């Protein structure tokens, strides 16, 4: 069985309804946490641009999980500009094949809700949406961006796909070739808008003159990897949640610490039980599994920008042709709404879309626990 399209697996993956319910509870708990007005003040470090308050949230977030042999779920990562929704639905050509009708309707409504929240008008609808990424035509998920264009077009919303260098400002408003931009769908991986090419957007965000989604505020509260360190501190959760929810999140969140806060010799000796991640990485870049780590690479880590996380082994999917794949699970989310759920199967150290016959896989929900 060969992949019809890179990134889409023809295999299905079993997931118990029990595990799925656990994942959904974690999503709801963390969203509630992010919307708690006391939460930001409890964080160890919140980037300046993330302290800009906004009326809107972030579209198409994703929560990635592993599932243990005992069907306990473990949160691996939170993403604020998650890609792959069309692939997760098994759609090879997003510009030509629409999403399932219900999902398309839900997804479109999240963008409209974001704009309505931003301008505080429940009747409003954006006229022009700009999908922004670095050299978008060169991105693996560029076809997905084209799928969004079609989705918005059907709702009579104009949409362009552009590199941030093509966006200009006039009196704090943003424009693309003279057209006023109402909403930016940010697919760029500069989450805090720190790079030179993102400064026009950063300034508009700071002045709250454009609806930006996802945005630095939500990234800072939920997806910055430093949050996993904060959530590993039981005191923070205990101050904001009931004991029942604290216990639930403790079970679901792998213990995460900054390398510089640990004894280096002890950490090295225990490395096989650990994963090492850069605080600013994405798409599994710079992630090292401890049992594959050399002493030289370990010594090269920046102690202040390297996370040390309890290793949670991915579950294993054995396909009908007896091929073994590592497996993780992704929920696509808008606030408390679960838009879609899927698996990603792969071989190698970390999640990837390069494994032959691996990639995004559809789920077969089971009743077994």
The topology (CATH level 3) of 87-213 is Rossmann fold (3.40.50)
Cβ atoms 174, 205 nearer than 8 A: no
Q: Residue 71: count other Cβ atoms within 10 Å of its Cβ.
A: 14
CA dihedral 42→29→310→285, nearest 10 degrees, is: -90
45 Rama class: left (phi>0) / alpha (psi -120 to 50) / beta:
beta
Q: Give the ranges where 74-193 is alpha helix by DSSP (H).
A: 85-88, 101-119, 142-154
Interatomic CA distance for residues 275 and 266, integer angstroms: 14
SS3 44: coil
pLDDT in tens, the chain (369 residues): 454 577 999 999 999 999 999 999 999 999 999 999 999 999 988 999 999 998 999 999 999 999 998 889 999 999 998 999 999 999 999 988 999 999 999 999 999 999 999 999 999 999 999 999 999 999 999 999 999 999 999 999 999 999 999 999 999 899 999 999 999 999 999 999 999 999 999 999 999 999 999 999 999 999 999 999 999 987 899 999 999 999 999 999 999 999 999 999 999 999 999 999 888 766 557 788 888 889 999 999 999 989 999 998 889 999 988 999 999 999 999 999 999 999 999 998 778 887 888 999 999 999 865
The residue to which tokens 């059907």 are assigned: 154
For residue 198, give the nearest of 133, 136, 151 by alpha carbon. Answer: 133
Interatomic CA distance for residues 344 and 340, integer angstroms: 13
Task: Number of helices (H) and strands (E) in the chain: give both, helices first.
Answer: 11, 18
Domain-wise residue ranges, the chain:
1-80+223-254+312-369, 87-213
What are the DSSP E strand ranges found in the chain?
A: 8-16, 61-67, 73-79, 128-132, 158-162, 167-170, 173-176, 179-180, 183-186, 211-213, 256-258, 274-278, 288-289, 306-310, 315-318, 324-334, 337-346, 359-366
pTM flag (> 0.85): yes
């Amino acid at each position: 069985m060969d992949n019809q399209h890179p990134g889409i697996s023809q295999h299905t993956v079993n997931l118990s309804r029990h595990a799925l319910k656990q994942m959904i509870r974690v999503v709801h708990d963390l969203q509630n946490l992010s919307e708690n007005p006391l939460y930001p003040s409890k964080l160890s470090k919140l980037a300046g641009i993330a302290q800009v308050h906004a009326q809107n949230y972030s579209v198409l977030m994703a929560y990635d999980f592993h599932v243990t042999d005992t069907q306990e779920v473990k949160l691996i990562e939170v993403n604020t500009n998650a890609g792959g929704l069309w692939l997760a639905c098994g759609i090879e050509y997003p510009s030509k094949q629409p999403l399932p009708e219900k999902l398309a309707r839900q997804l479109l409504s999240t963008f409209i809700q974001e704009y309505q929240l931003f301008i505080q008008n429940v009747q409003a609808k954006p006229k022009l949406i700009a999908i922004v990424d670095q050299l978008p035509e060169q991105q693996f998920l560029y076809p997905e961006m084209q799928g969004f264009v079609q989705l918005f077009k059907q709702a009579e919303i104009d949409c362009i796909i552009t590199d941030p260098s093509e966006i200009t400002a006039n009196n704090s408003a943003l424009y693309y070739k003279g057209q006023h931009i109402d909403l930016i769908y940010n697919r760029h991986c500069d989450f805090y808008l720190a790079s030179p090419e993102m400064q026009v957007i950063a300034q508009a965000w700071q002045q709250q003159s454009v609806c930006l989604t996802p945005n630095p505020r939500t990234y800072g509260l939920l997806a910055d990897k430093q949050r996993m360190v904060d959530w590993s501190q039981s005191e923070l959760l205990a101050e904001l949640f009931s004991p029942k929810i604290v216990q639930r999140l403790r079970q679901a969140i792998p213990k995460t610490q900054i390398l510089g806060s640990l004894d280096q010799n002890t950490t090295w000796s225990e490395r096989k039980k650990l994963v090492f991640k850069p605080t600013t990485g994405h798409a599994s870049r710079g992630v090292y599994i401890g049992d594959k780590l050399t002493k030289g690479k370990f010594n090269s880590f920046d102690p202040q920008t390297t996370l040390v996380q309890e290793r949670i082994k991915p579950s294993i999917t054995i396909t009908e042709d007896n091929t073994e794949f590592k497996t993780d699970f992704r929920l696509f989310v808008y606030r408390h709404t679960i838009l879609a759920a899927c698996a990603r199967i792969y071989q190698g150290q970390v999640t990837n879309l390069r494994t032959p016959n691996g990639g995004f896989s559809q789920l077969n929900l089971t009743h077994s626990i």
